[in-house]
Chain A
Amino acid sequence: MKNKVLMGLAAVVMVAFLSSCGKVPQAQIDATNAAIEAAKVAEAPVYVPAEFAAVQDSMNAIMADVEAQKSKLFKKFGPAKLNLDKTLALANQVAANAGVKKEEVKKEAQTLLTDIKAVIEENAKLITKAPRGKEGAAVLEQIKAEIVTIDASVVEAQGLFDKGTYMQALNKIKAAKERATGINTELKDAIAKVKKR
């Protein structure tokens, strides 16, 4: 009788031991996935793509480890739980970093938009003073055509900025600013040459 009781107790202990190590950390998995999704919403793939890719890689490795443990008789989810904690923290950090980077890009785009509007205004004044020499007339016509193109691009860039797609807006504004600055220099050089004569 005593032996039967002892054997029964041993069996219960064994089952309890095996089952306590075998629980999938589903709540942690869900929380980490939610954090990664939040990082995506924060546009981490756009503003901090390498960091976001690292978080995704980390999560993929954890999920593979979870399945590997589920495949076993004696499951150990301890390491997976630790990694989930780390990845959750990383995902939150990446989301925060994306926000910071987005703000930086926004400020840069805003500054460039302000600068380019000033250059465009100056160009409009300079063009009225530009020399209309034999070669000047056709060049001025080309400059006027370019100013029209730049104006249209700035309007497009402003639209992208207002929509919050700052990275796309930034690329367009940079191109517009370089062209506008180039024209500004051309006009100033031409006016200076005439003054020297």
Chain B
Amino acid sequence: MKKVWKLLLIAVFAVGFILLIILMLIRFTPQPPIGEMEYAREILSSAGRDKAETYSKKYYHEAKIYYDSAMVNWRKENKRFLYFRNYDRVAMFAELSSKKASQAAVNSKFSSSDLKIKVKNKIDTLNGIVADINNLFTTYPLTSEIRSRISKGKFLLKEAEIAFTKGQYLQANRKITDSEYLLTGSYENSITNLKNYFQSYSLWKKWIDTTIKESQQNHDYSIIIDKFSRKCYVYLNGTKQHEFDTELGRNWVGDKREKGDKATPEGMYKIAQKFGSNKTKYYKALLLDYPNEEDLKIFRGEIAKGTLPASAKIGGLIEIHGNGGKGIDWTEGCVALTDREMDVIYNIAKVGTPVTIVGSTVDLQQALNR
């Protein structure tokens, strides 16, 4: 009996001793930063859902690097003997990751929100420019290069709009930036060309006023051709009697410089000759006294400056004639009317009737407002 009690006591002490050892082992085991790592992972995941990888790439990338560094260090420490492990670096990287991920999330929300507004504004602005281009340059000739840039700009704008509706603001921003470059450049270039065209407006105004006054003083007809509006105005006694549509030379912008340039000249002319239907292939024609003294002076000056080759010819045979109504600028520099309207003018006009051809009868602002 005594022996049994002795054995029992030894067993109890042994178990107690083992339990004590186990408790001591658990108590002094280094504790990994489980909570910190979980927090870092959750914040990083949340930042990812907020599209931080797109809108706050730098911070998100840094947060990921810190998190990966924490995991690498954790694995490294876990390979060591239990009681030699030190998780301080793991905790440090976890904290850095959390901070960066929080920054990334906040930054992403602001960036995407700002970007959304910025892109929307740009889309609206560029749509306005497209509308202006469509309104202003329906009749004004643009070079094929400008037209190509405008069409590419419009296409990129459409791509930007599609990306925007899908919430892909970064993609939309890239497209809109390229579109903006093409459209605003083309628009500004075209407006500059238009402004250059209208630089002579004050001179045209003088010619118009002189021609109308002449009609008033002579109690007779005068004709004014407005190139920009493609109009032919017939005045009698200083009052407008008729208004006809016209078609011009293919290269109607600017003054005529030399033979074959397909430009319609600008200046104050008079009818030099009348050709009936048997004397012209254009139904009926009124030959103008182009080139006048001013035209000759300018032409000689260009030859002297070398802006025209010495072999250039000034040209001539500028007429108001029929066969118009094609809907395009097709002549070699003449002013074309429909045959019916040509009949009206032919009957009114005589040799010496003033014909003044101007770039526009209104200034640029009025032309744009029309």
Bound pair (A, B):
yes
Chain A residues at the B interface, C-beta cutoff of 8 Å: 3, 7, 53, 57, 60-61, 63-64, 67-68, 70-73, 131-139, 141-142, 144-146, 148-150, 153, 171-172, 174-176, 178-179
Closest to B163 in A: A171
Which of A57, A67, A171 interacts with B71 by CB under 8 Å?
Answer: A67
Of the four ranges (under 10, 10 to 19, 20 to 34, 35 or more), the interface on chain B belongs to 35 or more
Q: A3-B10, A73-B26, A175-B159 are in contact. Are A138 and B327 (CB under 8 A)?
A: no
- B231 to chain A minimum Cβ distance, whole angstroms, is 10
Residues of B within 8 A of A (CB): 7, 10, 14, 25-26, 29-32, 34, 37-38, 41, 45, 48-49, 71, 74-75, 77-78, 82, 85, 87, 134, 137-142, 144, 147-148, 150-152, 154-155, 158-159, 162-163, 166, 230, 245, 247, 326-329
Question: What residues of B have a CB within 8 angstroms of the CB of A131 in the complex?
Answer: 327
B38: chain A residues within 8 A (beta carbon):
61, 64
Top 4 closest pairs, chain A to chain B, by CB: A145-B147, A132-B327, A71-B32, A146-B151
- Considering only CB atoms, which chain A residue lies closest to B49 in the complex? A53
A-B pair count, CB < 8 Å, reads 110
Q: Is the CB of B41 within 8 A of A61?
A: yes
A175 close to B139 (CB less than 8 A): no
Give A54's nearest chain B residue, CB to CB: B45
Interface centre among B85, B137, B140, B327 (most CB of A within 10 A): B327
Q: How many angstroms from the CA of A134 to the CA of B326 in the assembled complex?
A: 8
**Chain B residues whose C-beta falls within 8 Å of the C-beta of A60 in the assembled complex:** 41, 45
Contact B32 A3 (CB under 8 A): no
Cα A70 to Cα B138 with chains together (Å)? 76
Contact check, A73 vs B32: say whether CB atoms are below 8 A apart: no
Residue of B30, B34, B45 near A57 (CB, 8 A) is B45
Tell me how far the C-beta of B266 lies from the nearest C-beta in chain A, rounded to whole angstroms.
Answer: 20
Assess the B32–A67 pair: CB atoms within 8 A: yes
Q: For the A-B complex with A3-B10, A179-B155 known, give 19 more contacts whose Cβ atoms are closer than 8 Å.
A: A53-B45, A64-B37, A64-B41, A67-B71, A67-B74, A71-B32, A72-B29, A136-B327, A137-B329, A138-B141, A145-B144, A145-B148, A145-B151, A146-B154, A148-B148, A153-B155, A172-B159, A174-B162, A176-B155
Query: Could you say which of A61, A67, A73, A178 contacts B25, with CB atoms under 8 Å apart?
Result: A73
Contacts of B34 in A (CB 8 A): 64, 68, 71
Question: What distance in Å separates the Cβ of A15 from its nearest Cβ neighbour in chain B?
Answer: 12
| B78 A148 Cβ-Cβ under 8 A | no
* CB-CB under 8 A for A138 and B137, given A72-B29, A133-B327, A145-B144: yes
Nearest-Cβ distance from residue A79 to partner chain B, whole angstroms: 13
Expressed in whole angstroms, the Cα–Cα distance for A174 and B30 within the complex equals 59
Chain A residues, CB < 8 A from B30: 71
In the complex the two chains form, is A73's CB within 8 Å of B159's CB? Answer: no
The one of B25, B48, B142, B327 in contact with A53, judged by C-beta atoms closer than 8 angstroms, is B48
Q: Is the CB of A137 within 8 A of B152?
A: no
CB pair A64–B10 under 8 Å, yes or no, is: no
Q: Please determine whether B138 and A135 come into contact, CB atoms closer than 8 angstroms.
A: yes
B74 cross-chain contacts in A, Cβ below 8 A: 67, 71
Check A137–B327 contact: CB distance below 8 A.
yes
